[in-house]
A = this chain, B = another copy of it.
Amino acid sequence: MDEFGIIARYFAPLATAPGAFGLTDDAATIPARPGFDLVVTTDQVAAGTDFFAEDPASTVAQKALRVNLSDLAAKGARPEYYLLNLALPRPAREEWLAEFTRGLSEDQRQFGISLLGGDTSATEGPLSISITAMGFVPAGRMVTRSGAKLGDAVYVTGTIGDSAGGLALLKGEGKGLSEMDRTYLVDRYRVPQPPVAFGNGLSDIAHAGVDVSDGLIADLGHLALASGVGIVVDAERVPLSPALRRLWGADTLARAVAAGDDYQTAFTAPLGLSGPFTRIGRVQAGEGVNLRVNGEEVVVPQPGYRHF
């Protein structure tokens, strides 16, 4: 089956938006939505770097998509469309494509989005997936990294470090961990859980926001730098799952905040908010990010993932 057959059979059914033309044209259209800005983000993932080549194709698809939905959530945007570039090692296996597109289809239903276009080609290298995701925010209301205000509280959704815990398990750590904890953590590595529905209302409450993908401390550092402020994180407030604590014990906090791949949203907003998030710190004058345990600084061993 060549790429035209692959597109017609596996991808065209995902192109539900009218502007996608059923993937039978050279481009897609997005009608102007007066009063809204289109928010656009793009991320690529590759076998051996962001997932394992032998991971289930459905979770590979969902990870590739959700790392992008995470960016939209952190910006307060409601996702609508995505474009998919797939570089596949030969031969293209139909059962893999069926499972890959099943994962996409499930996420399209869950998040209310449509495939809009893409490109499928063969590669001599590892499987790689490049996705561009798009959504809408009220005009001028994208939650930027630069809007943090002195006195803001710092909040984060979900729990931190689970994905890194799952990766550690897949690399051989934690032999004694229960099957339930193992499943929970590996699932978090394979299928991120970005706060998409929550992100839809983020622009109503947040002054600044960032996608936690490079590591909590590293990404808060990006936000602090863009906002020209300092951030203090109270170590005991960082949300850590019981499974992760059982895996890493006393090292949990130090490893979790330095790991990446969380795909949660960290944001600053007025004190006293409650919702599906945890207050972990505050914005103050200065620069950079301090992590405090009982008033003392903890050294963060690594400032986040770097490719080079």
Contact = CB atoms under 8 A, between A and B. Distances in A.
A87 B42 CA distance: 13
A286 B70 CA distance: 48
A16 interface: no
Contact of A123 (B29, B33, B125): B125
A220 interface: no
A27 B41 contact: yes
Given A30-B37, A308-B6, A25 B90 contact: no
Measured as residues with beta carbon below 8 angstroms from the partner, the interface class of chain A is 35 or more
Given A28-B40, A29-B38, A306-B3, A125 B128 contact: yes
A142 B28 CA distance: 9
Interface in A70-123: 71-72, 74-75, 77, 83, 85, 87-88, 90-92, 116-123
A83 B68 CA distance: 13
Given A2-B306, A42-B83, A308-B3, A29 B24 contact: no
A164 B307 CA distance: 35
Contacts of A116: 40
Nearest to A135: B27
A16 to B, nearest CB: 16
Given A6-B308, A21-B144, A123-B125, 5 more contacts: A3-B308, A28-B39, A29-B38, A30-B40, A91-B308
A85 B117 CA distance: 16
A112 B139 CA distance: 24
Contacts of A117: 40-42
